[in-house]
Amino acid sequence: MEILWSIIILLVLGALLGLGLAIAAKVLHVKEDERIEEVAKRLPNYNCGSCGYAGCKGLAEAIIAGKEDNLRKCKPGKEDANFKPILEYLENHPNEDGSKVKAHI
């Protein structure tokens, strides 16, 4: 009986809190440059921080913002698996004013 109640209570609690958070995430949504997400997706996503930024998303933000152009800062990244796809993506998705995001390997 105890086990049953434990499971029910935690399930209900978790579902309620999750629902609340889902609604809050919708209401408090911040519009972000979708390219950040796309670049982050192409990074290794170890979140090792060896690039000097807070996780892969931090590096992606810096690349898109033009603060970082050396992809080699990402130590675990591989040329074929990560860097080339990112360069290709950036090539095809320029800034709003038409200029390219600068990045090199």
Partner 1 sequence: MQGLVTFVLAIISAMLVDNVVLSRFYGICPFLGVSKKTKSAIGMGVAVIFVIVLATIICWPLYQLLKLAHVEFLDTVAYILVIASLVQLVGLFIKKYSPTLYANLGIYLPLITTNCAVLGVAQGNTDQGYDFLTSLANGIGTSVGFFLIIVVFSCIRTRLESANTPKAFKGLPIALITAAIMAMAFMGLQGLFVQG
28 binds partner 1, rule: CB under 8 A:
yes
- Asked if 17 interacts with partner 1 (CB under 8 A), we say yes
- 10: contact with partner 1 by CB under 8 A: yes
- The yes or no reply on residue 11 touching partner 1 (CB under 8 A) is no
Residue 50, interface with partner 1 (CB under 8 A)? no
Stretch that binds partner 1, among 15-23, 40-48, 71-79, 96-104 (CB under 8 A): 15-23
Q: By CB under 8 A, which span of 12-20, 74-82, 84-92, 96-104 interacts with partner 1?
A: 12-20
Output the 3-class SS for the chain.
CHHHHHHHHHHHHHHHHHHHHHHHHHHCCCCCCHHHHHHHHHCCCCCCCCCCCCHHHHHHHHHHHCCCCEHHHCCCCCHHHHHHHHHHHHHHCCCCCCCCCCCEC
Q: Does position 105 bind partner 1 by CB under 8 A? A: no
